[in-house]
Copies of this chain bind each other. A is one copy, B any other.
């Protein structure tokens, strides 16, 4: 039997946002590998072995998945959102690059998913309708001064900025520092969207404040923060959240 490895995106949370491609591959798998919370999103069934692990062990998890593949298993590594965006796909290819040379010729596919930032944007309007960037705010794998430099250059380029992993108990001050720095570069009226647990109907929470009022405490591990460009606009509505969008045009 010939094994394969699929690195699959489960989307932000709702069943309706999982692609048929991912559902099919999950139904064909013999082994499921991933962070406990994401593995738990896939129903148990006979013939499917679940390997849940802690969130910090991405490279170990990737190597385990590659090893199972060499043994002929049909392995799915699950990520939330899109697996290529600050998730398991890069970890698997790092493991391939630095591991057993035979791993390079395995059948490895990445199956895209609905990313957290696009799901968040969709809920509020079209804040990413013009040029934008995505920055992982975690300084576990890169120096904080590089993150500060990127934030400044992104603001100077007038990108809309999506921040992933904005806050955790181990990284309590970074997001507040990012807002402080961005207030030096951008108009203080720029809209900031905090989007938490998007598409998880029981827990979803989205709100929009001007940059001047943005405080880090609003975010947690399940939040994506979208910071508008100088041209991002609000459309007020009767008795509801405003729409937030960035015009396609950059003309005055």
Contact = CB atoms under 8 A, between A and B. Distances in A.
Interface stretch (A19-27, A203-211, A216-224): A19-27
Contacts of A109: 122
A153 B185 CA distance: 14
Contacts of A118: 82, 84-85, 112, 115
Interface string A85-104: 11001111110110000001
Contacts of A32: none
Given A20-B16, A159-B150, A141 B110 contact: no
Interface string A56-100: 001000000000000000000000001111100111111011000
Contacts of A11: 19
A200 interface: no
A132 B133 contact: yes
B132 A134 contact: yes
A180 interface: no
A248 B20 contact: no
Interface stretch (A35-43, A167-175, A232-240): A232-240
Contacts of A135: 131
Contacts of A18: 19-20
A194 B21 CA distance: 23
A89 B124 CA distance: 11
A1 interface: no
A61 B31 CA distance: 47
Nearest to A141: B249
A112 B105 contact: no
A202 interface: no
